[in-house]
Amino acid sequence: MLGRFRNLVFVIVASLAAPRAEVPVAKDALDFHVKDIDGAEVDLGRYRGKVVLMANVASHCGHTPQYVDLQALWEKRRDQGLVVLGFPANDFLSQEPGSNAEIKEFCSAKFHVTFPLFEKIVVKGKGQAPLYAWLTSRKTEPVGPGPISWNFEKFLVGRDGQVAARFAPGTSPSDPKVVAAIEAELAKPKSP
Catalytic hit among 23, 42, 61, 184: 61
Angle formed by the axes of helices 100-111 and 66-77, to 10°?
Answer: 80
Q: Side chain identity at 24, as an amino acid letter?
A: P
Positive/negative CA dihedral, 105, 54, 177, 62: positive
Gap between the Cα atoms of 22 and 45, Å rounded: 21
Q: Which of 20, 150, 15, 14 is nearest to 92 (CA)?
A: 150
Tell me, yes or no, if 107 is annotated catalytic. Answer: no
Q: Which of 129, 190, 179 is nearest to 154 (CA)?
A: 179
Residues with a known catalytic role:
61
